[in-house]
Structure 1
């Protein structure tokens, strides 16, 4: 059952931007040199993890002959090529601009580093992301001790709102199973927009599951409805 909320937090990768697809390309480019395959099942376990966690898990799972630091360095080289041309996911711009216009406090809670964020946003999307007055970068913020599925990033993010809302007053938008688990662990409701390949049994912790942000109805959570 959806309950009214006053504040909203957004994940970024795979929800606002199509960068989850770009991560797949980047990581496959790296592991291909060793004859390995970066599968969707492996990706599913990593979505929402911090950079170092991701590197360690991929190296371990695929038995790669490299250190996490080497993997991160190669990843950054791939990202510098791929991320600047990231594209918005359907419905993201409309929803963010609507909430901003209606005065709903919104924040960004991404596991990305601040450096990675700028690669994804600065070329094409600065105006939209400028609407987020509060941003939390999980791989850069020392207060975010653990990545998703732990609740750390959402607890850090909600603490940035000046009027100190309670977790149950916050709605999180996520695409990843780990992100949903993190938000629920933080005591928040979650709208999930999963990759269509995600098994439905893995989406059951979400408050609402949508095929696209275009399908979201703000009034379900007591937020101002779209006017068009």
Structure 2
């Protein structure tokens, strides 16, 4: 994207961007594969096809990829129960609170746009009210206005709309997943990739406006923002 950014809105993914959840998803998925696919290894090539998708879609891809003889309903139930036991251990990623404080300090409206459904979101965010308080808007994966999942940009476009953004070139999107970065770029927003630490060299991330190792590397100057991060 060319031109000089004039950012007025910020939109964040949740899993792997603000919360260190991707390792949890890997653990839960590997447990399932250990139990139902003879312990085949859950590789990043498969994981990147799942990241950012609705759990129904991602689980079906998992079943198809590994040729697992199980029902979608049972596989989802197994994953959800395993994940629910692990959510209390999830912590914010490095720089997460810092960057939210930065945007709040500069009165830039902040949205959360996550593929997580409300029932899972409520469990995941228990005890994390200090993060939720930063957001002016929260859009979840089962929002009736979001009919298409990432890489479709619909969730980011709806979040921008709720923030009052009429031109997505005034928005910045933060994402860790390939599908999320695709969605951010397709929305027209300046998209920042913070790649999943398991496979940061995925070549697609170079399509983002900038690539960071962590949110602590954020450089507000390149987005026309105050340089006091």
- Do these two structures clear the TM 0.5 threshold for a shared fold by scoring above it? yes
Q: CA deviation at 1:200?
A: 4.4
The SS at the match of 1:112 is coil
- Verify: 1:189 aligned to 2:193, yes or no: no
- Verify: 1:128 aligned to 2:113, yes or no: no
State the match for 1:144 in structure 2.
146
Q: Post-superposition, which runs of at least 4 consecutive aligned residues in structure 1 deviate over 6 A?
A: none
- Verify: 1:68 aligned to 2:72, yes or no: yes
Contact kept? 1:48, 1:178, Cα under 8 Å: yes
- My pick for the range that moved more, 62-71 or 197-206, is 197-206
Contact kept? 1:4, 1:220, Cα under 8 Å: no
State the match for 2:108 in structure 1.
104
Task: Describe the superposition over 1:9-57 as per-residue Cα deviations: whole angstroms up to 9, x where unpaired.
Answer: 0001001001011001011111111213221110011111111111110
Q: CA deviation at 1:134?
A: 0.2
The number of aligned residues is 224
State the match for 1:46 in structure 2.
50
- My pick for the range that moved more, 34-43 or 52-61, is 34-43
TM-score, normalised to structure 1, is: 0.93
**Please, which runs of 5 or more residues in structure 2 have no aligned partner?**
none
- Using the alignment, how far apart are the partners of 2:118 and 2:104 within structure 1? 22
- Verify: 1:205 aligned to 2:181, yes or no: no
- Using the alignment, how far apart are the partners of 1:126 and 1:225 within structure 2? 28
Contact kept? 2:165, 2:171, Cα under 8 Å: no
Contact kept? 2:49, 2:58, Cα under 8 Å: no
- Using the alignment, how far apart are the partners of 2:68 and 2:143 within structure 1? 28
The SS at the match of 1:159 is helix
State the match for 2:220 in structure 1.
218
- RMSD, aligned α-carbons: 1.4
State the match for 1:171 in structure 2.
172
**Please, which runs of 5 or more residues in structure 1 have no aligned partner?**
none
Task: Describe the superposition over 1:155-183 as per-residue Cα deviations: whole angstroms up to 9, x where unpaired.
Answer: 1111111x343111110001111111001
Contact kept? 1:193, 1:213, Cα under 8 Å: yes
